[in-house]
Amino acid sequence: MAKFIINGGKQISGSITPSGNKNEALPALMACLLTDQDITLTNVPRIADVLTVCTILENLGVAVSWQNESSVVLNAKNLHSYQPDPDLCIQVRASILLLGPLLSRLGRVELAPPGGDVIGARRLDTHFEGITALGGSLQFGMPIKAKIEQIKGTEIYLDEPSVTATENIVLLAVRCQGRTVIHNAASEPHVNGLCRLLNNMGAKISGIGSNLLTIDGVKDLHGTTYEIGPDFMEIGSFLCLGAIGGGKVTINKVRVHDLRFILKMLNRIGIHPEIGENSLSIDGRKPMRITSDLSGRIGSIYSGPWPAFPTDLMSVAIVAATQATGTIVFHEKMFEGRMFFTDKLMAMGANIVLCDPHRVVVTGPSQLTGTRLSSPDVRAGMALLMAAAVAHGTSEIHNIYQINRGYYQIEEKLRALGVDISLRE
């Protein structure tokens, strides 16, 4: 099995341009099912999850043509199946997003429960409630079976601002009869991106960027060209890496307005980047100091639905905190399995206390030492790469498929910043 070999302790410096947002690209690919015309997507990260979804779509009858490394044209004119390949669906969490567009286009779906990272329970209840409210009938099982005869607009109150549930409901509601209003909708940048793409295709969605989406149904959607936005998870990862790397790192082509709360939270562990119009620069030669609460008590960073700190950045922020002076609590409120990777950091010498499945206490700075590691999920895998890059000695990271699912050409990007990394079979 392939593995990364990292000789740590090298100065990390240079400039980097983030890839397109994986979590925006995946639902954008699904949106092609809503029209028989060409959808051209640019700035698409050609990672494992994207390629898996493209194969699923091809098996359904979609023509998929890569124009270059990051531009793909999709045409679902010959869509012929409502039964996506179950072996492929269980490999990627985003396969759940086939529910909405296939119901809209064919009125029927048989879908294997989705796969993806094992970081805790991920409910499907909100998907079912929203689709049922629009007129669908669903039966949970192996496979999930769903039917709809007529999509009727309605008011939907989500019991949680689920990203994929919001996207599934939007993908179904854009071709409904009448108006749909989604209360407590997710408002992450990738949800907004999907809504903008659909509007480019002829949908009528208002309230984009808020927790209240209004969708006036249209009969048909048409083709368009759309650019996927930069991956703010990748930006946050390289920002944390640059802060502990001993050099200066510049991240180009960022959307600063998408990062304000992320930057606010990272300030608490001493990450203070220079903010340009479309860039961030971080000087890793400057010491990092953790900020306490005003009362002097130990501070905290907690995850939550947007605009709160994203759960997917918890892992890399924890690694950064191991190199800062002070103590801080990380509270993962969304997934009960996110924090378990910290035992690997402890094995490298990090001073971390795992309080329970949702909370860890980090005290730094700690000198990390290279060791043999295995990536449990996408974001933890990136965090382990960071830790290995600043550790003394050599580290081996196995199960790197998990990392490649979410980060495009990560080996090349790290090497360009000065990380001594190689791929071994």
Catalytic residues: 117
Cα distance between residue 389 and residue 186, in whole Å: 34
| Three-state DSSP string of the chain | CCEEEEECCCCEEEEECCCECHHHHHHHHHHHHHCCCCEEEECCCCCHHHHHHHHHHHHCCCEEEEEECCEEEEECCCCCCCCCCHHHHCCCHHHHHHHHHHHHHHCEEEECCCCCCCCCCCCCHHHHHHHHHCCCEEECCCCEEEECCCCECCEEECCCCCHHHHHHHHHHHCCCECEEEEECCCCCHHHHHHHHHHHHCCCEEECCCCCEEEEECCCCCCCEEEECCECHHHHHHHHHHHHHCEEEEEEECCCHHHCHHHHHHHHHHCCCCEECCCEEEEECCCCCECCCCCCCCCEEEEECCCCCECHHHHHHHHHHHCCCEEEEEEECCCCCCHHHHHHHHHHCCCEEEEEECCEEEEEECCCCECCEEECCCHHHHHHHHHHHHHCECEEEEECCHHHHCCCCCHHHHHHHCCCEEEEEC
Cα distance between residue 17 and residue 251, in whole Å: 6
pLDDT tens for residues 27-40?
999 999 999 999 99
87 residue type, one letter: D
Cα distance between residue 354 and residue 254, in whole Å: 33
How close are the terminal C-alpha atoms of the chain, in Å?
Answer: 6
pLDDT tens for residues 38-94?
999 999 999 989 999 999 999 999 999 999 999 999 999 999 999 999 999 988 889
pLDDT at 91 (0 to 100): 87
pLDDT tens for residues 96-127?
999 999 999 999 999 988 764 444 445 688 88
Q: Are strands 279-283 and 246-252 parallel, antiparallel or unpaired?
A: antiparallel
Calculate what percentage of the chain has a pLDDT beyond 70.
Answer: 98
Q: Tell me what the mean pLDDT of segment 277-300 comes to.
A: 94
* Omega prior to 114 cis, within 30 of 0: no
Cα distance between residue 241 and residue 268, in whole Å: 16
Other Cβ atoms closer than 10 A to 336: 14
Look at residue 290 and tell me whether its pLDDT is greater than 60. Answer: yes
Predicted TM-score of the model (pTM): 0.91
Residue with token string 């206490």: 361
Cα distance between residue 315 and residue 332, in whole Å: 10
pLDDT tens for residues 7-27?
999 999 999 999 999 999 999
Q: Are strands 108-111 and 144-147 parallel, antiparallel or unpaired?
A: antiparallel
Say if residues 286 and 275 touch (Cβ distance below 8 Å). no
Q: Could you give the domains of the chain?
A: 3-19+230-424 (3.65.10.10), 22-227 (3.65.10.10)
pLDDT tens for residues 188-234?
999 999 999 999 999 999 999 999 999 999 999 999 999 999 999 99
List the one residue out of 300, 246, 236, 263 whose CA is nearest residue 21: 236
